[in-house]
Structures are given as structure tokens and as C-alpha cells.
Chains A and B, each alone.
Chain A
Amino acid sequence: MTEEDSVFDPTLKKKKKKKKTTFDLDAAFNEGGSIGDAMETSGDKENQEPEAPVPAEDDEALDLENFGRKKKKKKKAFNLDELDAALPDTKKEDVVEQQTEEIVVDDTFDLDMDFSKTKKKKKKKKDLDELVAEEERKEIEDKENEETSWVGSDRDYTYDELLVRVFNIMREKNPDMVAGKKQKFVMRPPQVVRIGTKKTSFANFTEICKTLHRQPKHLLDFLLAELGTSGSVDGNSQLIIKGRFQQKQIENVLRRYIKEYVTCHTCRSPDTILQKDTRLFFLQCETCGSRCSVASIKSGFQAVTGKRAAIRAKTA
């Protein structure tokens, strides 16, 4: 649901946003009127009125840092023409309708509430998948920047620009496709707790393995190789790692694992199977059928960190 929202809403919300920030109050009212009509929400708006304005401000500040949001803003630029075209109309309509000022006011507050609601959703979703999705979005966003630069100019478009264009059109026309892809990416963030001063517990390690459909051993190998440490799964199926790590750090490594060993390198679908063939691992995608080899997990050079005396005693 929420994923779908984030895919769908952008245009809607953007419009709202854009109008809000760039146009003056009148415009906002007008706009509020038209949108409010469409949404036909009613009832307890008044109860929430007092709180609404403050969250709205927060939202804006947060938005700047939020990748997912940024993308939306960019898209706004896209819709600007439409908006501008649409605005005069709504103004005219609203001039006629402006007798009911109270209702108009309510509607604007309603808008604010909308923002705060979506914000909350956003905040909750600090899941890994969300982060991965953000990464993807960022890439898309970057492309979008370049995309339309040739529109007004004489210069020829490049292949990349056309490619971006066609993908954007595809996404626009098939929102389900985009939404469907993202929906599968629901995963809880890793629960990371420190044990004492020297060890870290990754409590839902096995659960995450299950969500990713990967052998715990494979993920374990990767984690330990990347973090350059040792560890094991204990009786409560939690992973105990030597050293101090924060959730954010583990999340980073997990994200890299997902990128390399879970999502399809061609279509990014997480619906994949990891197979071992001779010495190599292959990632077989169930969505697009692509099959490619993935990097083998190597811890590479390991420096001597233990007590040298003990090692000497062992080997001697």
C-alpha cells in the first residue's frame, strides 16, 4: 500500500507542494478549493486544524534531505506547464465559488494534514528496501535531470536521453509495473545490539535470510568477510559478531549484499535464485530470466590480529 502511494502520489503531491510554495495564498486557496472538492473529505478537519500547520513546515525541511521526496520535486518541474495551464482555470472557478470561504480554509488545512500523514509514512519506512529503492530513485532522478535538457534546444538528443524518455513514458503508462516491483521489497531493518563492549548481536539475522531467500551461511560469509571479523549464529538464531558495529553500518553491508546477490542485475527484481555452479555463484532471475554470475565472497588478505604468541604456540 504505502509503496504504491509513494509511486502514485508524487504527481499529486507535487502539484500541491509546488503550488503551495511558489504561489501566494490566494492561489493556495483556490487550489485547495479544487482539490478539496475532488477529495470530498469532511468531518473532523476542525479537530486537527491547530496541529496541521506545524507538521507541514517540518515536512518541507525534511523533504530537502529526503531522496524519495526530491525526486518528486523534480517531477514537479515536469508538470509545471500543466500546472500553469491549469491554474488560471481553477482561479476562475474559484472566484465564482468563493462565497464559501470557510470551506476553502478548511480545505487548505486538509492539505496540510495530508502532508503530515504522508510524512509519517515516510519516516516509518526506514527499511532496507526503502533505502535500496531510494538509491534506485536517485539514479532515476539524476537521469531525469538530463532528460529534458534538449527539448527546447537545437542540439540533438543523445541515446541516453531517449532511453530515459522511453522509460519515463513506460512508467507513466504502467504505474502497476513500477508499484508491483517495489512492493516485493518489504524487509525489516536489522536489529543490531551491542553485547558488552566487544561484541555485537544481529538479532534478526535468520529472519532476514528468510526474507531474502538466501542461505544463512552465504549471508554470514559475506558479512564477516566485509566486516573483516569473525562471528557465529548462536542458539537463539541471532548472529554474534566480534567487534562493535552500529545498525547503520550493518545496514550498509546488507544493502550491498542485496544489490550484488539478491536483486537481478538486469531488471532489479528481487525474485531471484542463487545457484552454485562449479565454483561460481549464479543469480537466476525469475522475473526476466536473466542469469549472471556474481562475485564470489572473498575475505582476501587477513592481517594477524590475535595474540602472536598464541599463534606461534599453535603452529609450532
Chain B
Amino acid sequence: MSIQNLNTFDPFADAIKGSDDDVQDGLVHIRIQQRNGRKTLTTVQGLSSEYDLKKIVRACKKEFACNGTVIEHPEYGEVLQLQGDQRENICQWLTKSGLAKPDQLKVHGF
């Protein structure tokens, strides 16, 4: 994992595909999204598919006292979706539970 050269990442895969999606950038993107009025939701994209996201969402819902769901996206894979601005919470939780390192988290928004 820590040795870059041993990664199975193909540097030309991106060029072949011709799309600049960031599924493989190894980052967990935590975004906020505007809903109606002042309501927001938080999406977490890029969690390793080795994790059981359904379990994660269950834990998060309980922990943050918000609703949430897992959405299967053709391009971005499984995406976690939580109600409200949970960016701070999810960052702490992911770090605390060891699912992601702080430098893997990319928080977007204000």
C-alpha cells in the first residue's frame, strides 16, 4: 500500500478512458449539496469498495442522528448520502474508526 510503485494503478488508464473522473485518485470526497431552502445533504464518495457501506451508513445514521442511504452510481461506485451538513462528523468518524486517514479526506464546500 505504502509503496507507490507496487500499486496496480495503470497511469495510462485515464488517458485511454478519456474521462477525468476521480474514482481512482484515492481520495474520499466529502461534499455538501444544497437542497430546498436551507436544507443540505452530505455525500461521501470514494470509500473503498472493500468496505460494507451499508454497515457504515447504519453506524453513521445512529451516530449523527440523521438519515442516510447508500447509492450505487455507475461512475463513482457506491456513494454514502447523509442528511444535513455532516461533513465535520463524517470526517471525525472516518478517522476515528480507521476507515480513512485524514490526508485521504477531501472536504469540499464552504
Contact = CB atoms under 8 A, between A and B. Distances in A.
- Do A and B form a real pair? yes
B73 interface: yes
A85 B81 CA distance: 63
A67 interface: no
B109 interface: yes
Interface residues of A, number: 27
B43 interface: yes
A131 to B, nearest CB: 14
A303 B41 CA distance: 8
A299 B22 CA distance: 10
Nearest to A225: B108
A197 interface: yes
Contacts of B11: none
Interface stretch (A102-110, A162-170, A179-187, A246-254): A246-254
Interface string A280-316: 0000000000000000101111110100000000000
Interface of B: 20-22, 29, 31-38, 40-41, 43, 45, 71, 73, 76, 79, 81, 108-110
A301 B109 contact: no
Given A225-B108, A249-B110, A305-B33, 9 more contacts: A197-B37, A228-B43, A230-B34, A244-B38, A245-B110, A300-B22, A300-B45, A301-B76, A305-B36
Indicate the member of A228, A229, A230, A299 with the most B CB atoms within 10 Å. A228
Dominant secondary structure at the A interface: loop
Contacts of B38: 197, 243-244
A228 B108 contact: yes
Interface string A241-277: 0111110111011000000000000000000000000
Contacts of A305: 33-36, 41
Contacts of B109: 226-228, 253
Contacts of A248: 110
Contact of B32 (A227, A244, A246, A250): A227
A243 B22 CA distance: 26
A229 B71 CA distance: 19
Contacts of A245: 110
Contacts of B71: 301, 303
Interface of A: 197-198, 225-230, 242-246, 248-250, 252-253, 279, 296, 298-303, 305
A252 B87 CA distance: 15
B34 A303 contact: no
26 contacts: A197-B37, A198-B37, A226-B110, A227-B34, A228-B31, A228-B34, A228-B40, A228-B108, A228-B109, A229-B33, A243-B34, A243-B38, A248-B110, A253-B109, A296-B20, A298-B21, A300-B22, A300-B31, A300-B76, A301-B29, A301-B73, A302-B43, A303-B71, A303-B79, A305-B34, A305-B36
Indicate the member of A230, A244, A249 with the most B CB atoms within 10 Å. A244
A250 B110 contact: yes
Contact of A303 (B20, B21, B36, B81): B81
Indicate the member of B34, B40, B109 with the most A CB atoms within 10 Å. B34
Contacts of A243: 34, 38, 40
B39 to A, nearest CB: 9
Contacts of B36: 198, 305
